[in-house]
Chain A
Amino acid sequence: MSDPWKECMDHCIAVTKEAGKMIREALKKDIPIMQKSSPVDLVTETDQKVEALIISSIKERYPTHSFIGEESVAAGAPSILTDNPTWIIDPIDGTTNFVHRFPFVSVSIGFTVNKEIEFGVVYSCIEEKMYTARKGKGAFCNGVPIKVSGQEDITKSLVLTEMGLKKDPEHFKAVMSNMQKILTIPVHGIRSPGSAAVNMCLVACGSADAYYHIGIHCWDMAGGAAIVTEAGGVIMDITGGPFDLMSRRLITASSRAIAEHIAQQLQEFPCGRDDAVN
């Protein structure tokens, strides 16, 4: 039986490549920065242009599909996931990195139908690594199959996390306390590359064993979620319960053992939901 979403996925990959080219071009010039919710929540014209390029390209081909895009939501569009085929887009994941020309900047697109993720595409565009995964058909980087590390021993693991964008001291206390608990399990190390989508791909290809984060958004996770699961990894809520795309939190890991160990260490703190009604 032919794959009903294959054409969508091919279109997704093509438009993502275009977006990546636009980002690389922008990196050759000066980058004026604007701020969103705070002086460290950055956005640039390129974020907005790339999102516009992706959405218009998809709308032309699939006029009945829905969209959840980071910059559209910032401009007031709703962020509710329905059963309708939906494209969940982060045009530049790692805007801070982009602004500094720090090497991890990605375009992330996840595609859902009936609220279930059907495929994910993450293009780490400075490294020119195209990560893709179709539900039930494996995960790939530049066409080569990728697999998680399979590590089950937390004391031999390399863990990724980020320190987030809200800068109030109480929030940071919780973030740092969680990091300190994880570090002193002990784990081999903690790294912060600066892009959630790239972090998920690093777990998917075995370069890291886990990534956890409280406070990201559905557009940061939708692309990577399929890639990690199709690479043999697990994805769950930080409490150890099932992954919830709109919850703004996740643990993804090379094995259930590692994910659950991390879940046991983490202290929750409120981060809101993407589909919260204001």
Chain B
Amino acid sequence: MADPWQGAMDHAVAVARKAGEIIRDALQNDMKIMCKSSSVDLVTKTDQQVEQFIFDSVREKFPTHSFIGEESVAAGQPCTLTDNPTWIIDPVDGTTNFVHGFPFVAVSIGFAVKKELEFGVVYSSLEDKMYTGRRGKGAYCNGLPLQVSDQTDISQCIVNSEMGSNRDPEVVDRIFSTMRKILCIPVHGLRGVGTAAVNMGLVASGAVEAYFEIGIHCWDIAAGAVIVTEAGGVVMDVDGGPFDLMSRRVLAANNKTIATRIVKEIDAFPAERDDAPKQEKQ
């Protein structure tokens, strides 16, 4: 039986690759940096241009589909997932890295139908690595199959996480408390490349055993979630419960044993849901 979403996925790969070219070109020029919610929550014209490019390209081919994009939501668009085929887009995941020329900058495109993720595409544009995952059909990087690590001993693991852009002292305390606890298990190491999407790609490829973060958004993790699961891994909430795309929390790991061990050490803090109703302007 033909795959009803093959066309959409092929289009996602093509548009992600083209978006990656736009990002690489932009790195050659001077960059004007703007700030969103704080002085460390960065956005650039490239983020906005790339998102517009992806939207226009997809809308032309799939005019009835819905979109959730990081920069559109920042500009006031709603962030609610319906049953309608929906593209969930981070045009530049790792904007801080992009601004500095630090080697990990990704285009992340997740696709959901009836609120279920059907495929994910993450293009790590400076490495020229195209990660893809189609539900039920495996995960690949540049055409080669991806398989998570088979490690079951937490003391032999590398765990990825990020410090995020929230500098509220209470939040920073919790983040560091969790990092301290995980390091002292002990694990082989704690790393973070600065983009959720690539962190999830690294779990899928077996280079690290787990990635968790509180405070990311649905557009950061939608694509990676499919890629990790299709590579044989697990994706869940940081408290061990089922993964919730809009919860602002994720734990992706090579298997349940490692995931549930990490859950024990996570010192969670509140993060407003992506689909929380927006405050009415007074």
Q: Is A189 part of the binding interface, using a Cβ–Cβ cutoff of 8 Å? A: yes
Q: Is B268 part of the binding interface, using a Cβ–Cβ cutoff of 8 Å? A: no
Nearest CB in chain B to that of A151: its residue: B100
A208 partner, pick from B100, B163, B167, beta carbons under 8 A: B100
Question: Which residues in B have their C-beta under 8 angstroms from that of A186?
Answer: 39-40, 167
Of A99, A191, A202, A209, most B-chain CB atoms within 10 Å: A191
Decide if B100 touches A39 in the complex (CB within 8 Å). no
Question: Which residues in B have their C-beta under 8 angstroms from that of A99?
Answer: 188
Decide if B208 touches A189 in the complex (CB within 8 Å). no
Residue-wise interface mask of B (14-28) relative to A, using a CB-CB cutoff of 8 A (1 in contact, 0 not): 000000000000000
Minimum Cβ distance to chain A for residue B179 (Å):
7
Decide if B100 touches A183 in the complex (CB within 8 Å). no
Count how many chain B residues have C-beta atoms less than 8 Å from C-beta atoms of the other chain: 38
Question: Which residues in A have their C-beta under 8 angstroms from that of B263?
Answer: none
Decide if A189 touches B188 in the complex (CB within 8 Å). no
Decide if B100 touches A149 in the complex (CB within 8 Å). yes
Chain-A contact segment, one of B70-78, B191-199, B240-248, B270-278: B191-199
Q: Is A167 part of the binding interface, using a Cβ–Cβ cutoff of 8 Å? A: yes
Decide if B184 touches A192 in the complex (CB within 8 Å). no
Of A173, A188, A206, A208, most B-chain CB atoms within 10 Å: A188
Measured between alpha carbons, how far is A42 from B188 in the docked complex, in Å? 9
Question: Which residues in B have their C-beta under 8 angstroms from that of A63?
Answer: none
Residue-wise interface mask of B (179-190) relative to A, using a CB-CB cutoff of 8 A (1 in contact, 0 not): 110011011111
Decide if A158 touches B102 in the complex (CB within 8 Å). yes
Residue-wise interface mask of B (85-108) relative to A, using a CB-CB cutoff of 8 A (1 in contact, 0 not): 000000000001101111100000
Known: A158-B100, A189-B96. A39 touches B155 (CB 8 A): yes
Decide if A209 touches B100 in the complex (CB within 8 Å). yes
Decide if A192 touches B188 in the complex (CB within 8 Å). no
Question: Which residues in A have their C-beta under 8 angstroms from that of B183?
Answer: 163, 167, 172
Known: A99-B188, A163-B183. A190 touches B96 (CB 8 A): no
Q: Is A96 part of the binding interface, using a Cβ–Cβ cutoff of 8 Å? A: yes
Question: Which residues in A have their C-beta under 8 angstroms from that of B103?
Answer: 207
Decide if B100 touches A167 in the complex (CB within 8 Å). no
Q: Is B8 part of the binding interface, using a Cβ–Cβ cutoff of 8 Å? A: no
Interface residues of B, Cβ cutoff 8 Å to A: 39-40, 42, 96-97, 99-103, 149, 155, 158, 163, 165, 167, 169, 172-173, 176, 179-180, 183-184, 186-194, 202, 205-208
Q: A172-B184, A184-B167, A191-B192 are in contact. List 6 more A-B contacts (CB 8 A).
A: A183-B163, A186-B167, A202-B102, A206-B101, A207-B101, A208-B100
Pull 5 A–B residue pairs with CB atoms less than 8 Å apart, ordered by A. A188-B99, A189-B96, A192-B191, A193-B191, A208-B102
Interface residues of A, Cβ cutoff 8 Å to B: 39-40, 42, 96, 99-103, 149, 155, 158, 163, 167, 169, 172-173, 176, 179-180, 183-184, 186-194, 202, 205-209
- The 5 lowest CB-CB distance pairs between A and B, nearest first, are A158-B100, A167-B186, A102-B207, A207-B102, A207-B101
